[in-house]
Structure 1
Amino acid sequence: MDHVDRRATHDHELWESVAAAARNRVGQRQGRMIAEHGLSGDVQYHWSMDDGTIVWSRGGRDFLHGRITVIGSVDHVQRTWLWSWANDSLPSAALGDIADVRRHGEEHAFPLLVWPSFRADPTPVAQARIVAADVLAAEGLWFEPGDELDLHFAIHELRPA
């Protein structure tokens, strides 16, 4: 199914409550991820879309490994959000279970999760990435800012190096 079933009606109040509940759950997991794994202060990281991984280091020594799922990207020139499931240029290792987010949107008539792209206003982008992280049961979110493109990742399967 390419679009939300036209017979289903989008319930904006329901969407707002789902996004708020997801923000609470994901916020708690994000806080635990940062605190329990020491992801603040002088921390470096590198990620790879080719194998869907992220590694954090401090002082040149790796201390934490994880798996990434690219949730989506914001194009600064076009001012649009693009879901990773709609981006044919991404390697499959970086997509994880992102198709589950689209299915969730189809099942619950949440267009923001089903439209391949939408205007990248702050509220819908925040809601999309938070709800995606919640659907994916991610341990946290990671943001990679860029001059032309920002990337948004869900973090999974954290383990010490």
Structure 2
Amino acid sequence: MEDGSPHDHSDWDGVVLSARERARSQQTVMVERHGLSGDVQYHWSLDDARITWSRSGKTFLTGRLTMIGSVSLSQQTWLWAWANESLPSAVLGDIEQVRRFGEVNGFPVLPWPGFNYDPELVAEARMVAASVLDAEGLWADSTDDTQLHFAIHDLKPVPVAP
């Protein structure tokens, strides 16, 4: 899946380091500010690009999702959401910005439709994507054979009913 383009590792490493620091900070703030630990349940929908969190059956937080990409565990491949024609348009959000960022800055891993699965490269790609998309956090979920990776935006607490 890789096209063999040279990869500027020193520039990429700097972008990844900055994105990693940002993601770590954003993730900590998101989890602490909104209480996303402990007995929290969640539900997400690709069709309307939404995620909700609940506790004891009561929804307390909603957000918008942008699908970043997915990993096929059986094929050991990563596929960017912008290259996945089966996804609803709502969940694509501004993911094209990530592809364009890669093209403009000479980071081939971002405009390649996919690449061979490497956990570290997937982590780097999703953190850089979250940074480019100015996400509030990252979320991942797994199905039988697929890992799904999302950026989270527009978090809004749900008022507690009296």
Is the TM value for this pair above 0.5?
Answer: yes
Identity of paired residues, percent? 59
* 1:88 partner SS: coil
Q: Is 1:80–2:77 an aligned residue pair?
A: yes
- Once residues 13 and 146 of structure 1 are traced to their aligned partners in structure 2, the CA distance between those partners, rounded to angstroms, is 35
Structure 1, unaligned stretches of length 5 or more? none
* TM-score using structure 2 length: 0.93
Q: Is 1:43–2:40 an aligned residue pair?
A: yes
- Once residues 67 and 125 of structure 2 are traced to their aligned partners in structure 1, the CA distance between those partners, rounded to angstroms, is 13
Superposition pairs for residues 50-61 of structure 1, below 5 Å?
Answer: 50-61=47-58
- Once residues 139 and 10 of structure 2 are traced to their aligned partners in structure 1, the CA distance between those partners, rounded to angstroms, is 28
* 1:74 partner SS: strand
- Once residues 120 and 48 of structure 2 are traced to their aligned partners in structure 1, the CA distance between those partners, rounded to angstroms, is 30
* 1:114 partner SS: coil
Moved over 2 A (4+): none
Counterpart residue type for residue 89 of structure 1: S
Shift of 1:85: 0.1
- Once residues 120 and 60 of structure 1 are traced to their aligned partners in structure 2, the CA distance between those partners, rounded to angstroms, is 36
* 2:26 partner SS: helix
Report Cα offsets for 1:36-84 as digits up to 9, x if no partner: 0000000000001100000000000000000000000000011000000
Superposition pairs for residues 52-131 of structure 1, below 5 Å?
Answer: 52-131=49-128
Report Cα offsets for 1:86-127 as digits up to 9, x if no partner: 000000100000000000000000011010010111111001
**Paired residue for 2:145?**
148
Shift of 1:10: 3.3
Counterpart residue type for residue 20 of structure 1: L
Counterpart residue type for residue 30 of structure 1: Q
Structure 2, unaligned stretches of length 5 or more? none
* 2:110 partner SS: helix
Counterpart residue type for residue 95 of structure 2: I
